[in-house]
């Protein structure tokens, strides 16, 4: 089995190396998908949620040309020549949803398969899940750990349908930290000799500021839009309880400095107050999770203007049935969720929505359901803004490393044409987004219609 996995990874490395070499020579390498010429689509008779407002605007039309929104106005104009017209019949038109914490390759397969399976099979399963993700109305995801670079390219070129991906590549962790999934037989570590997990591109293990600088630069060289650094313990790693702080401030600061040199940012995985505080002191601009956060930590994040990207985990329905140390960690997360969001509101933290669904299709399909959990703390308009325009502000922190530089998460002239036509009013009932098969009448991403239930 090990020889087969190594062979698969060697072939992948050879192909990736050839691609890089050919690109460096300026020769054509990528196979461009055969996509239709840009089209015009006119939506008429729609009620508009623009991603920012707390109310709808009625009786509008919206014109898409190519992959951008060309215009929005009142009434029903004559359709441009060659345009497809979609009569919204008073339904709500809104931006595509954004998930700020997703794992494109890890969402749909059990962890043992990901650790031992054939890389070709893993990518095929990920492609199927990417299409399901898009059909749930999530037109953009921020991928926070995994070898998603080639997968993103395949989606961008139209080889397979899926959401836009903001990739970070390997999650960068210290020895023993969350994401260090080596077997004990792989210890002690030999610096410079990557483990099997590292060779997949899923994780990078570091134990000094110099090592973390190297691994950050490697992810950015491959096209990372932001960097994911693991500052402490996690739920899915059996040997890294949540209270751990696994990287020094010097190590975290080294990652932040490299990302700053590349004009992007670092998102730090952290649950415990001490871990979050260390990341903030090191200059991190975004904290992932933070479910054990206390008042002092929340105030520090607010003072520094640090983003909180987190998930409304409430019960085992959101994580699956876990056992042993993983269940202990999950119960701590569930217990901390209410206080987390109360502190976020108290200190007006810039808060992003992510679902972080892992290792099972049954969990992945709850992506929209996770939005409904937020009704405990936020109004429906606030929830929708968080999952559209607010999340887009977080994505924009990648600056020139942003792979999709036009506006996302809003419906306005010049923005990307990522749209959902909803049968019902999600500002009144956000649970409509938990039933995408019935509620999402039209799904458009990048100006291309991926679903249209309107007849005629």
> 3-state SS string over 23-48?
HHCCCCCCCCCCCCCCCEEEEEEEEE
Single residue among 323, 356, 377 that ends a domain in this structure:
377
* 168 plus 308 within the same structural domain: yes
**Structure confidence by residue, pLDDT tens digits, 219-246:** 999 999 999 999 999 998 878 899 999 9
Cβ-contact 325, 244 below 8 angstroms:
no
The residue among 294, 376, 272 whose CA lies nearest residue 343 is 294
Residue 156 has pLDDT above 70, yes or no: yes
* 372 plus 425 within the same structural domain: no
In a domain, 13, yes or no: yes
What residues contact 327, with CB distance under 8 A and at least 6 apart? Answer: none
% pLDDT > 70, the chain: 91
What residues contact 78, with CB distance under 8 A and at least 6 apart? Answer: none
In a domain, 383, yes or no: no
* 103 plus 195 within the same structural domain: yes
Query: What confidence score (pLDDT) does residue 118 get?
Result: 81
In a domain, 53, yes or no: yes
In a domain, 258, yes or no: yes
Q: How far is CA 394 from CA 133, 146, 353, 386, 399, in A?
A: 20, 20, 10, 10, 10
For 373, phi then psi, to 5°, come to: -60, -25
Whole-number Å distance between alpha carbons of 90 and 79: 18
Instruction: Enter the DSSP assignment of 139.
Output: E
47: CATH: 2.30.40.10
Cβ-contact 269, 178 below 8 angstroms:
yes
Single residue among 328, 353, 377 that ends a domain in this structure:
377
What residues contact 174, with CB distance under 8 A and at least 6 apart? Answer: 180, 205, 206, 207, 230, 246, 247, 251
Structural domain range at position 4: 1-30
261: CATH: 3.20.20.140
* 54 plus 115 within the same structural domain: no
Q: What is the mean pLDDT of residues 417-426?
A: 98
In a domain, 157, yes or no: yes
* 272 plus 246 within the same structural domain: yes
In a domain, 399, yes or no: no
Number of domains in the chain: 3
For 451, phi then psi, to 5°, come to: -150, 135
In a domain, 120, yes or no: yes
Average pLDDT, the chain: 90
* 198 plus 307 within the same structural domain: yes
* 233 plus 335 within the same structural domain: yes
Query: What confidence score (pLDDT) does residue 456 get?
Result: 59
* 101 plus 89 within the same structural domain: no
In a domain, 382, yes or no: no
* 80 plus 121 within the same structural domain: no
**Structure confidence by residue, pLDDT tens digits, 61-120:** 999 999 999 999 999 999 999 999 999 999 999 999 999 999 999 988 877 777 777 888
* 25 plus 52 within the same structural domain: no
The residue among 320, 312, 267, 317 whose CA lies nearest residue 109 is 320
**Structure confidence by residue, pLDDT tens digits, 163-179:** 999 999 999 999 998 98
Query: What confidence score (pLDDT) does residue 280 get?
Result: 98
* 109 plus 257 within the same structural domain: yes
**Structure confidence by residue, pLDDT tens digits, 346-395:** 999 999 999 999 888 889 999 999 999 999 999 999 999 999 999 999 99
Query: What confidence score (pLDDT) does residue 36 get?
Result: 53
Whole-number Å distance between alpha carbons of 220 and 147: 13
Q: What is the mean pLDDT of residues 286-303?
A: 98
* 216 plus 131 within the same structural domain: yes
Q: What is the mean pLDDT of residues 284-312?
A: 98
């Amino acid at each position: 089995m090990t020889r087969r996995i190594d062979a698969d990874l060697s072939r992948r490395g050879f192909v990736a190396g050839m691609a890089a070499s050919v690109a460096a020579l300026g020769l054509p390498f990528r196979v461009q998908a055969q996509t239709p010429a840009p089209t015009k689509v006119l939506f008429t008779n729609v009620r508009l949620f623009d991603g920012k407002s707390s109310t709808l605007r009625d009786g509008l039309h919206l014109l898409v040309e190519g992959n951008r929104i060309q215009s929005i106005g009142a009434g029903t104009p004559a359709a441009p020549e060659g345009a497809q017209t979609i009569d919204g019949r008073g339904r709500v038109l809104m931006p595509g949803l954004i998930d700020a914490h997703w794992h494109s390759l890890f969402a749909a397969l059990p962890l043992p398969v990901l650790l031992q399976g054939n890389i070709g099979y893993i990518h095929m399963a990920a492609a199927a899940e990417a299409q399901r993700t898009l059909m749930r109305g999530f037109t953009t995801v921020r991928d926070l750990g995994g070898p998603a670079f080639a997968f993103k390219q395949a989606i961008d070129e139209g080889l397979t349908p899926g959401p836009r991906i903001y990739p970070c590549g390997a999650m960068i962790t210290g020895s023993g930290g969350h994401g260090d999934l080596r077997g004990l037989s792989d210890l002690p570590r030999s610096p410079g000799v990557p483990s099997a997990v590292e060779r997949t591109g899923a994780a990078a293990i570091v134990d000094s500021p110099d090592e973390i600088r190297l691994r950050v630069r490697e992810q950015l060289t491959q096209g990372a839009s932001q960097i994911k650094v693991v500052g402490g313990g996690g739920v899915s790693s059996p040997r890294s309880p949540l209270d751990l702080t696994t990287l020094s401030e010097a190590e975290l600061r080294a990652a932040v400095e490299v990302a700053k040199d590349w004009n992007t940012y670092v998102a730090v995985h952290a649950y415990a107050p001490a871990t979050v505080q260390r990341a903030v002191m090191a200059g991190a601009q975004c904290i992932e999770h933070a479910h054990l956060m206390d008042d002092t930590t929340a105030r520090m994040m607010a003072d520094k203007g640090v983003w909180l990207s987190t998930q409304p985990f409430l019960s085992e329905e959101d994580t699956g049935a876990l056992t042993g140390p993983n269940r202990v960690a999950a119960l701590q997360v569930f217990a901390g969720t209410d206080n987390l969001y109360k502190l976020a509101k108290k200190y007006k933290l810039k808060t992003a929505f992510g679902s972080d669904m892992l290792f099972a299709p049954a969990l992945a399909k709850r992506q929209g359901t996770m939005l409904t959990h937020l009704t405990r703390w936020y109004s429906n308009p606030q929830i929708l803004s968080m999952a559209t325009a607010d999340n887009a502000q977080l994505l924009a922190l990648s600056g020139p490393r942003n792979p999709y530089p036009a506006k996302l998460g809003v419906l306005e002239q010049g923005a990307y044409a990522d749209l959902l036509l909803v049968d019902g009013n999600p500002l009144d009932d956000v649970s409509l987004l938990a039933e995408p098969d019935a509620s999402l009448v039209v799904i458009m991403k990048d100006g291309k219609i991926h679903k249209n239930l309107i007849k005629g």
